[in-house]
Chain A
Amino acid sequence: MSEPVIKCQSVYKIFGANAERMLKEANGNVDAKTFQDNGCIVGVNNASFEVSKGEMLVVMGLSGSGKSTLLRCISRLTDATGGKIFIEGQDLLNLNNKELIDLRRNKMGMVFQSFALLPHKTVLENIAFPLQIKGIKTEDSINKAMDMVKLVGLDGRENYFPRELSGGQQQRVGIARSLAVEPDIWFLDEPFSALDPLIRKEMQDEFLRLQEKLQKTIMFITHDFDEALKLADRIAIMKDGIIEQLDTPANIVLKPATEYVRKFTEEVPREKVLLIQDVMDEKTSSDIGDLKVSKDEIIENVAEKILTQEKTVAVTDSKNNVVGSINPAKIINTVFGGRKNNN
């Protein structure tokens, strides 16, 4: 496996006057309560993980869980108090100001919850802003920005000001701006949280379409568990600065590591999250019917087909080899059974 694009080793972020000294004294054993008593607030507590190229890591947590702080440590909008962060092998915390600006100008893009557009610039100028900051010629940057306008579907509105756009449109501008420099790493900080539910769904779909096309390495912050399940390759669930569990959506739903994670998963419609391969039997049984389903299908999409079968259904991989089987009872069990408090 190639080098991870983002690599965090025991990252701590502690706010307060003598945070560094306290962290040293704690000796890797940070307790939020004792820190609070001493006037420090723990934002991120011992976060270690890797994100590989083209992967989308969604960090999920409620407000105050430290997810945004973690993102700001990795984009170095704030300096981490302890630990190491590597971006493509470069030690982020040891970069000087110039190198950091270079990194941001070429490798990073970020989208913000409140859009954070510049009110005095038009859509086009906003999108061209990072390019012009980089020192690219006006004409080239405008051309590039125009491509971005088309990419996010805002053609015809490039000369509008942010104040004249709806929330969804403003966030499209924010997305276009973050993509203008063609970054490898894409940070999104609750990009859709400020939008109406309908627009939010539309933007999520749009986002998935873009990602399919662009294949960026992504860190996506959200407080919406459904959103996390829908978008993520892997999900990190945070609470009080600690990453409670970091796993694929299916594993989180099926095997919640802590009580806290389990509470989130309870209400999740499993058929929308789990793939056939997550629930199938590895061994093939004898009375297999004619129907074959792919192991990468989401249960919801094939449930009806399977449930109308009398017999067990064969499961195939992408090369159409049979790799397992699933019977209708298993589907019913997955959808309705196996939940606590669900009398």
Chain B
Amino acid sequence: MEILKKYPKLFQWLFLLVVFFALCFAIDVPETYKFIRGQAEFIKDPNQSAFVFLGKEVRYYAFDVFWRLPPLLGWLPIWINDSLFFLMNDWMPMEFWNEDTQEYKTRPLVLQITRNLTAFMTFLIELIREILLGGLETIVAFTSWDWIDANPWAELPGLPWTIVAAGSAILAYKLGGKGLAIYALLSMTYISIFGQWKPSMQTLSFILVAAPLSFIFGLGLGVAAFKSKRVEKALYPILLVMQTMPQYAVLVPALVLFGVGDHAAVIITMIVAVPPMILLTLLGLRAVPPEVIEAGRMSGCNNWQLMSKVLIPTARRDILIGVNQVIMVCFSMAVISAFIGAKGLGFNLLLALNQLNIGLALEAGLCISLIAILLDKMSLAWANKQVDYFGNLNFFQRNKNSLFFGVVVIAGILLAYFGSIYFKDGYNYLFEVPHNKGISTAGFWNKGVDWIFDTFFVYIKAFNTWLIVDVLQPMRALYLRMPAIATLVLVVGAGYLIGGIRSALVVCGLTLFIALSPWWDRALVTTYMATFGVLVSCAIGFTVGTLCFQNKHSTNFMLNVCDIFQTFPSFVYLIPVMMLFGITDTSVLIAVIVYATIPATRYTIEGLRSVPAGLHDAATMSGVTKFQRLFKIEFPLAFPHMMLGLNQTIVFALFMVIIGAFIGTEDLGQYILKALSDKKGAGIGLTLGICVAFIGLIFDNLIRTWVGKRKKHLGID
């Protein structure tokens, strides 16, 4: 009892738990309840109840409201869907001039807009793709097929791979010095020799369109939000939801609006990549010291000059970090958007995974990772590069890189020309190594996978069975056993205890949305998988982080490892786990754990690092041992930062769980995947995405509020 008096909060938490469990035991599982494997909306069952709202009929299995809430929001996906269709097909029909048929044609406004947008995107992608690979679509766009037939020479030739490789090395040298240049050259050469050139360039062209567009929009919106409170307020909820929204879920509505293909992928990528750019722009602009702004004003800057000459250059670093983020998001989208038909490495990867050809998947994944790391390092080097003074250099010194590139272009063309003489029949390897005609290691990897399977099959299977039967199934059953009311009480109670009435209301709203959607059960499964992943990840991450922190070299090493792992597009993680564990829940969970351990480790190290040096000295002078220092000083002070790591870990885990649907899970992700191939899936996909985002936001809200209070309490920042 003394303890309870000493820690009144503890008593409140205990009370909350008691209420929660009491509710769990008091409410029995209804006899008719079973986990519904099919999609409820397609089942017509006399036992179902139904209601009609806004003209949409929602059918569902009714239970006691304490056990499961009725899906009162069930009309929402259908309504979103119908609205989208109405917008696309019936709203505001107008006369538009049609180039091809040379006549006016009636089309709905939105359809016309999206079609023009996609045409523009397609043109951009084709242009870059043809610069890299050659082709005639671009020239056709300016002339016509007839003209091409009359002038057979007119075709963009494409750059020989030697030029692209050397060019990227020169750029890397300029940005990051020798090491990066060597890495660029090696990885480009690898891609070419191993016959992945064409898909790699397709992916690259996709990124070269998506990233700059996202950058421009993100910067523009960031600046607008900086200048106007109203814009910022309008953007804020979108930014928040997009942070925890699985990228998968955005695909579905975009599919309806923009169709299938690279152009749609670019637009979706922009939707996903613009929010972090906005955030970092805003962050950077906010960090500009007020005196610098005043100095600009006193120099007589008007608003435009202030923005372009003072604010943006001063915030340069943060903005370029934003570019880095944009590029990383583009990469992960480049893979995911293969689901809606974007060409390139992602498509090959998906195909190979579908065929269970792990070797091929590994090759494609490796290429994606190589390019991702290259662009990541290049953009980071750019961000951290200081401006240099070059006014005192002469023309050659100033332009030596461009001049060198000019030489490389000529050399590359000559090489390609000699190549065309030397490799008379078949392929000119000095121009482009055709897909699948390079060296392939796929066979080797496949044999390796077979060998692992043959050798370790028994052990892997035993582990698999144990995990599923003894850990996962019971845990899942427990989660599904929770009555909705008990979950609600637990979450809202936690919100109240952590952040007062405001927090309680926010999490209550978020939870209610999920509870009133038709997918509460699925959301529980998603949460259970994420919880399992997060628990293991945190255990590993906190331990590894703490251990590595004991030594400066291992700290840096670990941070670098985290950097590199974070660069891999999330989908790539599925390859090795499928290699080892096949198509099971275990595979998904292990991918989740690996992926989510990165932020857990990173934040642990960063948190421990942020403990002020003065405190270390003070502790040492009071004669603490290493352990005492760790537990009495470093952990308590680093804990808030570590909790932010937990927040990231949850978001990462949720993302991976959703992507894991590709392997086969029975959660929200599975439905999102289904919605992708469903003509009426747009509303469902979007609502599902919002559900996942809300799960993330519930935890996000609780953790952030707690961290904020704790930091205030400790007097950190």
Contacts and interface: CB of A to CB of B under 8 A. Distances in A.
Contacts, number: 74
Interface residues of B, number: 22
Nearest to B298: A110
B291 A104 contact: no
B73 interface: no
Interface string B310-346: 1001101000000000000000000000000000000
A263 interface: no
A102 B316 CA distance: 28
Contact of A118 (B313, B386, B391, B392): B313
Interface in A73-112: 75, 77, 97, 101-102, 104-106, 108-110, 112
A110 B295 contact: yes
Contacts of B292: 116-118
A161 B313 CA distance: 14
B301 to A, nearest CB: 5
A114 interface: yes
A69 interface: no
B298 A134 contact: no
Interface string B375-401: 000000000001101011000000000
B302 to A, nearest CB: 6
Given A133-B305, A159-B392, A161-B387, A116 B294 contact: yes
B639 to A, nearest CB: 33
A77 B300 contact: no
B601 to A, nearest CB: 33
Contacts of B157: none
B387 A112 contact: no
B294 A122 contact: no
B227 to A, nearest CB: 15
Nearest to A113: B291
B391 A109 contact: no
A119 interface: yes
Residue of A97, A130, A174 ringed by the most chain B CB atoms within 10 A: A130
B609 interface: no
B289 interface: yes
A129 interface: yes
B299 interface: yes
Given A133-B305, A159-B392, A104 B298 contact: yes
B304 to A, nearest CB: 11
Contact residues of B: prevailing secondary structure: helix
Contacts of B300: 101-102, 104-106, 130, 133-134, 181
B302 A122 contact: no
B298 A77 contact: yes
B502 interface: no
Given A133-B299, A134-B300, A122 B389 contact: yes
A134 B294 CA distance: 16
Nearest to A174: B295
Nearest to A180: B299
A163 B386 contact: yes
Nearest to A114: B291
B391 A77 contact: no
Contact of B302 (A72, A101, A114, A159): A101
A120 interface: yes
B239 to A, nearest CB: 26
A177 B299 contact: yes
B314 A112 contact: no
Given A118-B310, A133-B309, A112 B301 contact: no
Nearest to B313: A120
Interface string A160-200: 01010000000000100110010000010000000000000
Nearest to A131: B299
Contacts of A75: 298
Contacts of B291: 112-116
A102 B302 CA distance: 10
A105 B300 CA distance: 5
B297 interface: yes
Nearest to A108: B298
B109 to A, nearest CB: 38
A97 B304 CA distance: 13
A109 B298 contact: yes
B528 to A, nearest CB: 48
Residue of B292, B298, B313, B391 ringed by the most chain A CB atoms within 10 A: B298
A64 B166 CA distance: 59
B294 A120 contact: no
Contact of A116 (B295, B301, B313): B295
Given A114-B291, A133-B305, A120 B387 contact: yes
B314 A161 contact: no
Contact of A120 (B289, B298, B314): B314
Given A114-B289, A118-B310, A161-B386, A104 B391 contact: no
Interface string B111-131: 000000000000000000000
Contacts of B316: 120
A271 B391 CA distance: 52
A104 B297 contact: yes
B309 A112 contact: no
Contacts of B294: 72, 77, 110, 112, 116
Contacts of A163: 386
Contact of A112 (B295, B313, B392): B295
Interface in A122-152: 122, 129-130, 133-134
Contacts of A133: 299-301, 305, 309
A124 B292 CA distance: 17
Contacts of A177: 295, 299
Residue of A109, A116, A181 ringed by the most chain B CB atoms within 10 A: A116
Contacts of B295: 110, 112, 116-118, 174, 177
Contacts of B301: 101, 133
A206 B118 CA distance: 64
A101 to B, nearest CB: 5
A192 to B, nearest CB: 15
Nearest to B295: A116
Contacts of A116: 289, 291-292, 294-295
B289 to A, nearest CB: 6
Given A77-B297, A104-B300, A133-B299, A118 B314 contact: yes
Interface in B268-318: 289, 291-292, 294-295, 297-302, 305, 309-310, 313-314, 316
Nearest to A102: B300
Contacts of A106: 300
A108 to B, nearest CB: 6
B299 A159 contact: no
A119 B317 CA distance: 11
A112 B316 CA distance: 22
Contacts of B297: 77, 104
Contacts of A178: 298
Contact of A161 (B289, B305, B309, B389): B389
A159 B310 contact: no
Interface in B29-87: none
A263 to B, nearest CB: 30
Contacts of A112: 291, 294-295
B385 to A, nearest CB: 11
A130 B299 contact: yes
Contact of A104 (B289, B299, B387): B299
Contacts of B392: 159
Nearest to B297: A77
7 contacts: A105-B300, A118-B309, A120-B316, A120-B387, A122-B391, A133-B309, A177-B295
Interface of A: 72, 75, 77, 97, 101-102, 104-106, 108-110, 112-122, 129-130, 133-134, 159, 161, 163, 174, 177-178, 181, 187
Given A105-B300, A120-B387, A133-B301, 15 more contacts: A101-B302, A104-B299, A108-B298, A109-B298, A110-B295, A114-B289, A118-B313, A118-B314, A120-B314, A134-B300, A159-B391, A161-B386, A161-B387, A177-B295, A177-B299
Closest 5 CB pairs of A and B: A105-B300, A130-B299, A116-B295, A116-B291, A110-B298
